[in-house]
């Protein structure tokens, strides 16, 4: 099962949603389950990152040249689409452009370090980039989002505070907690590091919940099927483009795994939140679609890695 954990998690999430809404016994519990998920999901992510960061000390975090190229590409594409949206008017296909912008703007997923470790990459370097790109997005999004989607309440400081509050607790707190355990309870840290795959399985559970939530968002959407298909298509193109660009740049510096994951694996919960909060709620579907694509691609990468190891 471990070899196929990501595809299993994706299918399980889809089946779980349809089973949950179809069984009469669960009628009336939907709101309560939503509240439980709102607590369980962050707890899973926190624990997963905490376990991963136990193997990464402060001295392991270094700036790399590919970090700079990735930031230039990510912010440059974000600014380019924001500029195009100024001239797009209020056409129906504006939603598709905004969806693409979210897929390109979104920072690296906190879980990227977990997948990078499974692919025999360097989780410390991708953790460094994850911190940097989150700061860069927090500074640039409040400037460029009002250009792309004018809003009377979209001022810099409130938007900056909202983004910081959304992305940093689940990134910085697990890191600081892990470092504290490494420093003050090294025996505990050593014991927990004996289970290197535990973070991966926790991520699979978290992924299954995220896919179930994504399925709900798609099923409850009132958007025409043509627009949903277009959003799905543009999110797929953005996903593949970013993975391959990241790998090409990373390969120049001997870190193609880290480069691909840094640019391609996204914090899709952030995409969904950003769409609902600052743009058209329809664009939040892009986050759900992207979640499916980048996890399918990760499943393919893990499959290839297993074949290489068994050769």
Distance CA 273, CA 214 (A): 12
Report H helices in 112-219: 112-118, 123-148, 156-167, 169-184, 186-192, 198-219
Whole-model pTM over 0.95: no
129-156 pLDDT, tens digit each: 998 998 888 888 888 877 777 766 667 7
CA angle, corner 293, sides to 97 and 306, nearest 5? Answer: 150
Q: Which of 106, 107, 104 is nearest to 78 (CA)?
A: 104
| Residue 89 clears pLDDT 70, i.e. is over it | no
243-274 pLDDT, tens digit each: 999 999 999 999 999 999 999 999 887 888 87
Cβ atoms of 208 and 12 closer than 8 Å: yes
Residue-level pLDDT at 147 = 75
Distance CA 23, CA 7 (A): 24
CA distances from 100 to 53, 77, 79, 258, 291 (A): 31, 10, 12, 23, 14
Exposed, middle or buried, 104 (CB in 10 Å: 0-12/13-18/19+)? Answer: buried
CB proximity list for 115: less than 8 A, separation 6 or greater: 200, 203, 261, 265, 298, 301, 302
Higher pLDDT: 88 or 54? It is: 54
């Amino acid at each position: 099962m471990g070899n196929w954990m990501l595809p299993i998690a994706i299918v399980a999430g889809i089946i779980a949603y349809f089973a949950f809404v179809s069984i009469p016994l669960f009628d009336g519990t939907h709101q309560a389950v939503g509240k439980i998920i709102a607590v369980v999901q962050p707890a899973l992510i926190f624990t997963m990152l905490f376990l991963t960061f136990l193997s990464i000390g402060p001295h392991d975090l270094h700036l790399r040249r590919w970090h700079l190229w990735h930031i230039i590409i990510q912010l440059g594409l974000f600014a380019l689409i924001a500029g195009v949206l100024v001239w797009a008017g209020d056409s129906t296909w504006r939603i598709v452009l905004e969806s693409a912008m979210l897929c390109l703007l979104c920072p690296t997923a906190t879980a990227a370090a977990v997948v990078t470790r499974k692919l025999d990459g360097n989780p410390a370097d991708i953790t460094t980039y994850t911190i940097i790109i989150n700061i860069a997005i927090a500074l640039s999004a409040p400037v460029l989002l009002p250009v792309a989607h004018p809003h009377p309440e979209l001022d810099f400081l409130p938007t900056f505070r909202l983004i910081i509050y959304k992305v940093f607790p689940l990134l910085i707190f697990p890191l600081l907690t892990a470092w504290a355990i490494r420093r003050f309870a090294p025996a505990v840290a050593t014991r927990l590091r004996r289970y290197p795959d535990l973070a991966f399985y926790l991520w699979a559970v978290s992924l299954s919940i995220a896919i179930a939530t994504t399925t709900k968002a798609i099923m409850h959407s009132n958007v025409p099927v043509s627009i949903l298909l277009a959003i799905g298509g543009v999110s797929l193109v953005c996903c593949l483009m970013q993975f391959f660009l990241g790998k090409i740049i990373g390969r120049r510096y001997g870190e193609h795994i880290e480069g691909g994951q840094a640019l391609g694996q996204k914090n899709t919960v952030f995409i969904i939140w950003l769409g609902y909060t600052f743009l058209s709620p329809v664009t939040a579907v892009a986050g759900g679609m992207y979640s499916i694509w980048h996890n399918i691609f990760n499943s393919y990468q893990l499959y290839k890695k297993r074949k290489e190891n068994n050769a």
